[in-house]
């Protein structure tokens, strides 16, 4: 492989930063130029990731596109020392997530043209977000991972706090409070891991944990739980979900696209990478407990979504419910379930992002997202209403769309692990239909209020990104192996470690 190929992951991660620097020197007044730069700056990463995806070796078990450079080290007296590496690479878990991140970032940048104030700062933060999210999925070193993880936190804090609705500051603080707590646990776990394994390299840690677990069982469990809390907050798992409700409602819709679309998936990624990857034995032992929490998420979110009076609240609780499905998929510790969970991460990423793309449009036209004030939009905005219904159907798991594949696989995995819990989880399909249809039909159906008679339907700048979303959602739905095959090898390898 040529040398520049080694640098490909690095180039992908930091390409958006180039845009950020150009924006630094762009005059504030040139708003349209800023928007164009902001959008264009997300494209190189997307294009290169497509290239990467195309050349991804399906049969390979090991990491691909690896770049490993010694970074810095602390040497102690004696021969022991801690070396830190700038270590990047992809495997079957990160590949689809990276692709999703890049695509949603581009679409978010397009959706962000609706932002009217402090545009330059907004796009700079957005590009910083993209870099750090890509970095999180590319990192093969826990320290590197942690740095990117923290940058996300900071950038998101400002994105929520500056461009949100009336209560944006509270939402931002709550976000920081919870996620700061999560970071604390992550940091704690990192330090303990460093002490236990003397390294933060992913490939090394996964080999050392089974040995270390035998020598230091309590120690291992402490690391396991603190990592679990860190990612339970991110996902979020009940009862750590309060912060994300606020963010869904108070942040600008385009920021929520990133938040619901990608950030929640970092929780899923953490569970897959660290818990399934490093602690499969321990995961097996807490499987039933985690499944129970997944079911609580699933039904708690669904029932609460059913009684909300505001669209973004419905979607927030719907996200909780969908993350419950993801959690039961992971907790089943069956290959099919893990596949389902990863599918769910990607599918929900696109569906949630599309939902908030539509929310942005809806709010711009009607100035409300209260369900009781809306109605009959099929008449004045038929294309919008059609796409909204489409997204709703994708979200309730209609076959032929991406949500079905992920739910089906997650439940199938769970069913193999536990028949009765699997059957109970399947009842979630009914609840999803109930709350989604209620919300969608309140908006689309019924008589059209007078003041909504003359709304303008989608412009092409809006329909084009929607078309991309729709294509991806249908694409995954009818040809799931497009992304399914890439995850197969990695997940299989992880599970082979159990009992090995």
Partner 1 sequence: MRWITLTILLLPLLSFLLLIGGRKWRSRGLVAGIGVLTSYGAFHLSSYLLMNMIQKKTQVVISMPWLTLSDQVVHLGIKIGALQAVMLVLVSLVSCLVQIYSWGYMRDDERFPVFFAYLGLFTFSMLGLVSSANLLQIYIFWELVGLCSFLLIGYWYYKPEARDAAKKAFIVTRIGDVGFFIAILMIFWKIGSFELDAVSKAVSTGTISGVWVTWIAILILIGAIGKSGQFPLHTWLPDAMEGPTPVSALIHAATMVTAGIYLVAATFPVFLASSYALDIVSYIGGFTAIFAACIALVQTDIKRVLAYSTVSQLGYMMLALGSKGYVEGIFHLVTHGFFKALLFLAAGAVIVSLHHEQDLRKMGGLWKKNRGLAIWFLIGCFALVGLPPFSGFFSKDEILQTVYMDGRIGLFVLALITVFLTAFYVFRLYHLIFAGTSRTEQKNTPVPKVMMVPIAILGLLSTLAGFVQFPKAYFSSFLLQGSKLASLTSEAAPAWIGWVAVLFSLFGVGLATLLYWRGYQPAKPRVGLIGWAHRILEQKFYIDQLYHYVFALPLKGLGYFLIGWDRFVVGGLVRLVGLVPVGLSRIASMLQNGQTQTYALVSLIGFILLVIGVTVGRFFS
Closest separation between CB of residue 138 and partner 1, Å?
16
- Among the residue ranges 264-272, 281-289, 393-401, 451-459, the one whose residues contact partner 1 (CB under 8 A): 393-401
**153 with 180: CB under 8 angstroms?**
yes
Q: Which is nearer to partner 1, 70 or 217 (CB)?
A: 70
**382 with 408: CB under 8 angstroms?**
no
Of positions 11, 22, 33, 147, contacts partner 1 by CB under 8 A: 147
> Per CB under 8 A, does 154 bind partner 1?
yes
Of positions 57, 62, 370, 481, contacts partner 1 by CB under 8 A: 481
- Among the residue ranges 41-49, 223-231, 277-285, 400-408, the one whose residues contact partner 1 (CB under 8 A): 400-408
Residues 6+ apart with CB under 8 A from 367: none
Of positions 99, 224, 411, 469, contacts partner 1 by CB under 8 A: 411
Q: Which is nearer to partner 1, 9 or 413 (CB)?
A: 413
Closest separation between CB of residue 58 and partner 1, Å?
10
CB atoms within 10 A of CB 76: 8
Of positions 30, 50, 211, 399, contacts partner 1 by CB under 8 A: 399
> Per CB under 8 A, does 250 bind partner 1?
no
Identify residues 210-239 at the interface with partner 1 (CB under 8 A). 238-239
Identify residues 105-134 at the interface with partner 1 (CB under 8 A). 118, 121, 125, 128
Q: Which is nearer to partner 1, 222 or 434 (CB)?
A: 434
Q: Which is nearer to partner 1, 330 or 335 (CB)?
A: 335
> Per CB under 8 A, does 464 bind partner 1?
no
Identify residues 8-67 at the interface with partner 1 (CB under 8 A). none
Closest separation between CB of residue 261 and partner 1, Å?
23
- Per-residue binding string, partner 1, 288-317, x by CB under 8 A, is ------------x--xx-xx----------
> Per CB under 8 A, does 461 bind partner 1?
no
> Per CB under 8 A, does 409 bind partner 1?
yes
Q: Which is nearer to partner 1, 111 or 336 (CB)?
A: 336
- Total site size for partner 1, rule CB under 8 A: 78
List the Cα angle 51/53/55 in 5-degree steps. Answer: 70
How far apart are alpha carbons 274 and 282 in whole angstroms?
A: 11
> Per CB under 8 A, does 73 bind partner 1?
yes
Closest separation between CB of residue 349 and partner 1, Å?
20
């Amino acid at each position: 492989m040529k040398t520049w190929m080694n640098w490909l992951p690095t180039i992908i991660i930091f390409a958006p930063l180039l845009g950020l620097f150009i924006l630094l020197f762009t005059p504030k007044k040139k708003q349209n130029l800023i928007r164009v730069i902001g959008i264009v700056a997300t494209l190189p990463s997307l294009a290169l990731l497509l290239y990467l995806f195309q050349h991804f070796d399906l049969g390979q078990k090991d990491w691909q596109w690896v770049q490993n450079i010694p970074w810095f080290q602390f040497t102690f007296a004696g021969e022991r020392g801690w070396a830190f590496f700038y270590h990047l690479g992809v495997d079957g878990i990160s590949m689809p997530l990276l692709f999703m991140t890049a695509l949603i970032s581009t679409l978010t940048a397009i959706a962000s043209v609706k932002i009217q104030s402090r545009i330059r700062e907004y796009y700079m933060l957005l590009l910083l977000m993209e870099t750090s999210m890509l970095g999180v999925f590319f990192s093969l070193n826990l320290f590197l991972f942690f740095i990117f993880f923290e940058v996300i936190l900071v950038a998101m804090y400002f994105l929520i706090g500056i461009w949100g609705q009336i209560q944006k500051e509270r939402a931002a603080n709550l976000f920081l409070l919870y996620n700061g707590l999560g970071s604390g646990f992550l940091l704690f776990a990192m330090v303990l891991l460093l002490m236990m394994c003397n390294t933060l390299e992913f490939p090394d840690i996964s080999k050392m944990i089974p040995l270390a677990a035998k020598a230091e069982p309590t120690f291992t469990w402490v690391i396991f739980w603190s990592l679990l809390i860190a990612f339970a907050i991110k996902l979020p798992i009940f009862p750590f979900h309060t912060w994300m409700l606020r963010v869904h409602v108070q942040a600008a819709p385009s920021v929520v696209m990133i938040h619901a679309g990608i950030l929640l998936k970092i929780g899923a990624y953490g569970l897959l990478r660290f818990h399934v990857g490093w602690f499969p034995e321990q995961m097996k032992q807490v499987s039933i407990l985690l499944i129970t929490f997944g079911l609580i998420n699933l039904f708690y979110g669904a029932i609460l979504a059913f009684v909300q009076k505001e669209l973004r609240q419905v979607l927030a609780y719907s996200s909780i419910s969908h993350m419950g499905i993801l959690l039961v998929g992971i907790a089943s510790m069956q290959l099919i379930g893990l596949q389902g969970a990863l599918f769910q991460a990607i599918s929900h990423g696109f569906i949630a992002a599309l939902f908030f793309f539509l929310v942005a449009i809806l709010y711009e036209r009607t100035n409300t997202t209260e369900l009781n004030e809306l109605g009959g939009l099929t008449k004045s905005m038929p294309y919008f209403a059609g796409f909204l219904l489409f997204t709703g159907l994708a979200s309730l798991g209609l076959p032929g769309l991406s949500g079905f594949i992920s739910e089906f696989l997650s439940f199938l995995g769970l069913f193999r692990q536990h028949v009765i819990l699997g059957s109970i989880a399947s009842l979630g399909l009914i609840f999803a239909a109930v709350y989604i249809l209620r919300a969608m039909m309140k908006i689309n159906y019924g008589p059209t209020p007078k003041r909504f008679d003359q709304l303008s339907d989608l412009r092409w700048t809006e329909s084009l990104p929607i078309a991309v979303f729709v294509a991806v959602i249908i694409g995954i739905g009818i040809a799931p192996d497009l992304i399914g095959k890439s995850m197969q090898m990695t997940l299989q390898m992880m599970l082979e470690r159990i009992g090995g």
